[in-house]
Amino acid sequence: MDSITKSVFFSLFVSAIFSGMLCGAKATSLFVFGDSYVDTGNRNQSAQSWNSPYGMTWPRRPSGRFSNGRLLTDYLAQAMGTSSPVPYAHLQQYINLPEGVKDGINFAFAGSGVFAGYEPTNFATQVDQFEELLRANLSGLPSLTDSVVLLSTGGNDYLLYLAANGSLQV
């Protein structure tokens, strides 16, 4: 499936969930896609986000967030009455626990963007990871009908565009 088709299907998925929210349904989990603005720890532990001063204000230790404190992901989860979703990179540590991934999964990856050329992941890769989980039909996954999707990406695409002297050729 090409990236445009994936984007259309994903947009429909987001729209379906959002329309459920408008009908008064209470969301109980959060699925997150994007870049460093919403990544809660998917970069490997050699990334600078796992070192001080990142995370010193909250959660009072480096946690993989490219922030000194909470991210939009954390605020949205708090407003929903849930914990921040588990980073996809750490999924295996949580999937078999009683509380598991009931609050959702964060696929966001710092440094990613929409265009091809982002390594090791871009938006299409995050959607692929999500689709793989759905196909695996894991018993611990939250219900999609009770979920919210947060999508925050694009900032790095502007940087890539400027770095290429205003060209979309990467």
Per residue in 33-77, pLDDT tens? 999 999 999 988 788 888 888 888 888 888 889 888 899 999 999
- DSSP H helices, 82-169, are 91-94, 123-136, 155-163
Q: What value does the mean pLDDT take over residues 118-125?
A: 83
> pTM to 2 decimals?
0.80
Question: Which residue do the tokens 């009683």 mark?
Answer: 98
Beta-carbon-side half-sphere exposure of residue 27 (alpha carbons within 13 Å): 27
Sheet with 147-152: strands ordered across:
86-87, 104-106, 29-34, 147-152
- 159, pLDDT greater than 90: no
Residue 4: CB partners within 8 Å, gap ≥ 6?
none
